[in-house]
């Protein structure tokens, strides 16, 4: 590794191998981003099919059974396989840069987390071709799921078990990274908000995914071996699934929305060109939301008959969440207030986010009132509410951050004009789709129905809603076109693309070299890069160490092999109830592959390698020309 020459062009095979084996957080971030976009597109297409079916009354565009599969896969994919990886993409790409780390704490596990997620997602989607997708809703309530014919539910259980393990691994990785790998001077209360929200939402993953794993495992043995955890005729209880699912499921909403909050807390100060208002209260509110998120799960179950006392307690706890969330909203508004606002595409998404998310929050508080929830439960009002939170909160954050962080991630900038057009088409489409669904719900239209009778006053609103969905689809297509156009554009090769970057990630010149900062930076306060800029530091940051050899982890194919092992074993488990002879051998082979690669990993010491000083200098000159990163 001591050759000073820096290779430039690689063949297709070598590039592919590089991505299959990489442990670099920036490449994994890109992989998460593209995998997430793929599943986002698939789930969005499913939504479009559903809206076409519901466009006119008594439609027969898809059958009732297909509609159930579409709605289940739309929900499951969007939450587990689109929103989560897209946010993980940004966490991977940005958080190590924001805290001045070389990489995440466990690069190998980072790669393993991605491959487990990806192969679990592929497994779940193979259900479409292998006898029918899951059809019991993304919540997969046991009373429905246990009696679903075919293998759909088994695909759901096994696929989520695998990808859930990946998510858990990545979550733990981020907790350790943020706690132990911050650059000198980066105290907890100097961490950027996106790093804070990543830490808290990783903590929520750590606490929330085990209940899901337990629930999925119960479901698996109920269906595979005829256990009776959820079968009331055999002494089980179907409500236990609901509790386990929502003990996971409610924090899951915060797992997704907190990083979105963090992303907006990065975008807004940059374009308001003001320090984030109320930083410490933002941190406090994030932690509080994290805690309260675990105390409220039963508000999804008010109508199951928990009793008045339990309903009242959970109703009050739920309403309490509005307080820290409100603090955040006011802090964002106060950051914008009096700022010299530049309305770029990311800022446009941020400005669209605030009212949309507040609308979703207000309907949430309405549902927290248990008596009213008896009216709203399982109606389109609920659909409208959570889409306002998820599209208005999380999707706008993802789209806005794509524009915001594209220069760092790809050294290219997404087209601004096309971005503005995309925003307006998507944003108007979003409100057209979901705003009227509030009223459809209040008029009594139940959710998860595949068609409806004419002349109940629902026809026009459903039609408009479907038009909105088509507009959202056009918006997403425009974004993809924007990405493709941008890939052809010229590289930026600059530092601080937006000109008003504040946190550490903007201090580094793009393209970011594989070892990030050549010397670990010294953090002198909150918004460290802003401080250095104001002190006239031309070099970006001051450094905490002299230029020296850099220790980096080796690439490895083992994470992919391990994940393929579990993928194979899942097929054995899936077909086991059919009584096929090959199921047990396949499980053994699959798990054997996984265990063998684990043993290989443990036995063979992998100490990484050093990038020597000459090589660092050569890389810098290759990337930035003579003089390197100055």
User: Which residues inside 142-161 make contact with another protein, applying CB under 8 A?
Assistant: none
Tokens linked to 245: 């699912």
Tokens linked to 64: 């009732």
**Helix H or strand E encompassing 428:** helix 416-442
Residue whose token pair is 């941008």: 486
Q: Which one of 13, 149, 307, 546 is in contact with another protein (CB under 8 A)? A: 307
* Concatenated DSSP letters of 594-622: HHHHHHHHHHS----EEE-HHHHHHHHHH
Closest CA to 48 of 480, 455, 401, 475: 475
In angstroms, the CA 335 to CA 274 distance is 7
The least CB distance from residue 247 to another protein, in Å, is 6
Using the rule CB under 8 A, give the single segment among 44-52, 79-87, 264-272, 302-310 that binds another protein: 302-310
Tokens linked to 86: 């897209």
Nearer to another protein, 170 or 396 (CB): 170
Nearer to another protein, 49 or 306 (CB): 306
Question: Backbone dihedral region of 222: left (phi > 0), alpha (psi from -120 to 50 degrees) or beta?
Answer: alpha
Give the number of residues in contact with another protein, rule: CB under 8 A: 19
Sign of torsion over alpha carbons 40, 41, 42, 44: positive
In angstroms, the CA 123 to CA 152 distance is 11
Nearer to another protein, 241 or 380 (CB): 241
Query: Could you tell me where the DSSP H helices lie in 22-106?
Result: 25-53, 64-76, 84-98
Nearer to another protein, 33 or 247 (CB): 247
The least CB distance from residue 245 to another protein, in Å, is 13
Bond before 249 cis per omega within 30 degrees: no
The least CB distance from residue 205 to another protein, in Å, is 13
Using the rule CB under 8 A, give the single segment among 303-311, 345-353, 485-493, 575-583 that binds another protein: 303-311
Q: Which one of 153, 186, 219, 298 is in contact with another protein (CB under 8 A)? A: 298
The least CB distance from residue 95 to another protein, in Å, is 17
Report if residue 609 touches another protein, rule: CB under 8 A. no
DSSP tag of 510: S
Nearer to another protein, 144 or 176 (CB): 176
* Concatenated DSSP letters of 369-433: SHHHHHHHTTBHHHHHHHHHHIIIIIIHHHHHHHHHHHHHHHSS---HHHHHHHHHHHHHHHHHH
The least CB distance from residue 88 to another protein, in Å, is 21
The least CB distance from residue 295 to another protein, in Å, is 6
Closest CA to 513 of 413, 404, 627, 623: 623
Using the rule CB under 8 A, give the single segment among 161-169, 203-211, 352-360, 435-443 that binds another protein: 203-211
Nearer to another protein, 264 or 314 (CB): 314
Using the rule CB under 8 A, give the single segment among 304-312, 387-395, 490-498, 511-519 that binds another protein: 304-312
Phi and psi at 518, nearest 5°, equal -70, -30
Tokens linked to 586: 């396949």
The least CB distance from residue 586 to another protein, in Å, is 36
CB-side neighbour CA atoms (13 Å) of 35: 28
Nearer to another protein, 240 or 428 (CB): 240
The least CB distance from residue 364 to another protein, in Å, is 20
Sign of torsion over alpha carbons 96, 102, 104, 110: positive
233-252 footprint of another protein as x/- string (CB under 8 A): --x-x-xx--x---x-----
Nearer to another protein, 56 or 319 (CB): 319
Nearer to another protein, 206 or 358 (CB): 206
The least CB distance from residue 270 to another protein, in Å, is 30
209-238 footprint of another protein as x/- string (CB under 8 A): --x-----------------------x-x-
Nearer to another protein, 72 or 203 (CB): 203
Bond before 511 cis per omega within 30 degrees: yes
In angstroms, the CA 600 to CA 329 distance is 50
Using the rule CB under 8 A, give the single segment among 35-43, 204-212, 523-531, 612-620 that binds another protein: 204-212
User: Which residues inside 268-297 make contact with another protein, applying CB under 8 A?
Assistant: 291, 294-295
In angstroms, the CA 124 to CA 77 distance is 9
Nearer to another protein, 10 or 232 (CB): 232
The least CB distance from residue 204 to another protein, in Å, is 9
Nearer to another protein, 319 or 418 (CB): 319
In angstroms, the CA 393 to CA 260 distance is 7
Q: Which one of 17, 207, 217, 439 is in contact with another protein (CB under 8 A)? A: 207
Residues whose CB is less than 8 angstroms from the CB of residue 279 and which lie 6 or more positions away in sequence, other chains included:
189, 193, 526
Nearer to another protein, 176 or 470 (CB): 176
The least CB distance from residue 239 to another protein, in Å, is 6
User: Which residues inside 308-367 make contact with another protein, applying CB under 8 A?
Assistant: 310
Nearer to another protein, 227 or 310 (CB): 310
To the nearest 10°, report the CA torsion of 499, 504, 507, 513. Answer: -130
Residue whose token pair is 């070099």: 539
To the nearest 10°, report the CA torsion of 567, 569, 571, 577. Answer: -150
DSSP tag of 140: T
The least CB distance from residue 308 to another protein, in Å, is 11
162-191 footprint of another protein as x/- string (CB under 8 A): -----------------xx-----------
In angstroms, the CA 324 to CA 289 distance is 6
Residues in the chain: 630
Sign of torsion over alpha carbons 228, 563, 112, 39: negative
Instruction: Give first-to-last CA distance, the chain, whole Å.
Output: 25
Interface contacts to another protein, rule CB under 8 A: 179-180, 203, 206-207, 211, 235, 237, 239-240, 243, 247, 291, 294-295, 298, 306-307, 310
């Amino acid at each position: 590794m001591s050759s000073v020459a820096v290779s430039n062009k690689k063949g297709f095979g070598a590039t592919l191998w590089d991505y299959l084996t990489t442990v670099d957080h920036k490449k994994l971030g890109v992989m998460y981003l593209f995998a997430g976009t793929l599943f986002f597109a698939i789930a969005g297409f499913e939504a479009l099919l559903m809206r076409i079916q519901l466009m006119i009354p008594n439609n027969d565009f898809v059958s009732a059974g297909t509609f159930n599969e579409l709605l289940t896969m739309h929900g499951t994919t969007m939450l587990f396989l689109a929103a989560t990886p897209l946010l993980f993409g940004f966490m991977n790409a940005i958080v190590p840069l924001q805290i001045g780390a070389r990489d995440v704490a466990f690069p190998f596990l980072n790669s393993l987390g991605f491959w487990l997620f990806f192969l679990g997602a592929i497994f779940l989607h193979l259900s479409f071709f292998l006898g029918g997708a899951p059809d019991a809703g993304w919540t997969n309530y046991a009373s429905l799921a246990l009696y679903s014919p075919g293998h759909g539910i088994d695909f759901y259980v096994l696929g989520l078990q695998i990808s859930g393990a990946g998510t858990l691994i990545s979550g733990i990785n981020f907790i350790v990274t943020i706690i132990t790998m911050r650059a000198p001077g980066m105290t907890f209360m100097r961490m950027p908000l996106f790093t804070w929200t990543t830490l808290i939402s990783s903590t929520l993953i750590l606490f929330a995914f085990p209940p899901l794993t337990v629930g999925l495992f119960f479901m698996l043995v109920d269906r595979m071996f005829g256990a009776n955890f959820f079968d009331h005729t055999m002494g089980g209880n179907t409500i236990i699934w609901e509790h386990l699912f929502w003990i996971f499921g409610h924090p899951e909403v915060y797992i997704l929305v907190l990083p979105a909050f963090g992303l907006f807390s990065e975008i807004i100060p940059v374009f308001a060109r003001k320090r984030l208002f109320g930083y410490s209260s933002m941190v406090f509110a994030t932690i509080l939301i994290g805690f309260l998120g675990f105390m409220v799960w039963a508000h999804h179950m008010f109508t199951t008959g928990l009793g008045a006392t339990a309903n009242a307690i959970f109703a009050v706890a739920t309403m309490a969440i509005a307080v820290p969330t409100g603090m955040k909203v006011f802090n964002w508004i106060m950051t914008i207030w009096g700022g010299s606002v530049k309305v770029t595409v990311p800022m446009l998404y941020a400005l669209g986010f605030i009212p949309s998310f507040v609308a979703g929050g207000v309907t949430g508080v309405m549902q927290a009132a248990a008596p009213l929830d008896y009216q709203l439960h399982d109606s389109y009002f609920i659909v409208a509410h959570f889409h306002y939170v998820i599209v208005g909160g999380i999707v706008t954050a993802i789209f806005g951050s794509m524009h915001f962080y594209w220069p760092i991630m790809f050294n290219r900038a997404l087209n601004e004009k096309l971005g503005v057009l995309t925003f307006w088409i998507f944003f108007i489409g979003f409100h057209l789709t979901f705003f009227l669904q509030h009223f459809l719900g209040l008029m009594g239209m139940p959710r998860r129905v595949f068609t409806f009778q004419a002349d109940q006053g629902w026809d026009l609103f459903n039609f408009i809603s479907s038009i909105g969905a088509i507009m959202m689809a056009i918006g997403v297509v425009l974004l993809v076109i924007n990405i493709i156009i941008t890939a052809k554009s010229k590289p930026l090769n600059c530092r601080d693309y937006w000109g008003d970057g504040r946190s550490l990630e903007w201090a580094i010149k793009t393209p970011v070299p594989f070892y990030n900062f050549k010397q670990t930076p010294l953090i002198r306060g909150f918004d460290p890069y802003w401080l250095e800029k104001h002190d006239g530091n031309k070099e970006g940051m001051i450094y905490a160490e002299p230029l020296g050899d850099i220790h980096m982890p080796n690439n490895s194919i083992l994470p992919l092999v391990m994940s393929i092992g579990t993928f194979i074993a899942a097929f054995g488990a899936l077909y086991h109830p059919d009584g096929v002879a090959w199921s047990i051998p396949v499980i053994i082979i699959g798990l054997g592959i996984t265990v063998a690669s684990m043993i290989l990993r443990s036995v063979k010491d992998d100490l990484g390698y050093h990038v020597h000083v000459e090589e660092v200098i050569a890389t810098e000159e290759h990337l930035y020309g003579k003089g390197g990163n100055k």
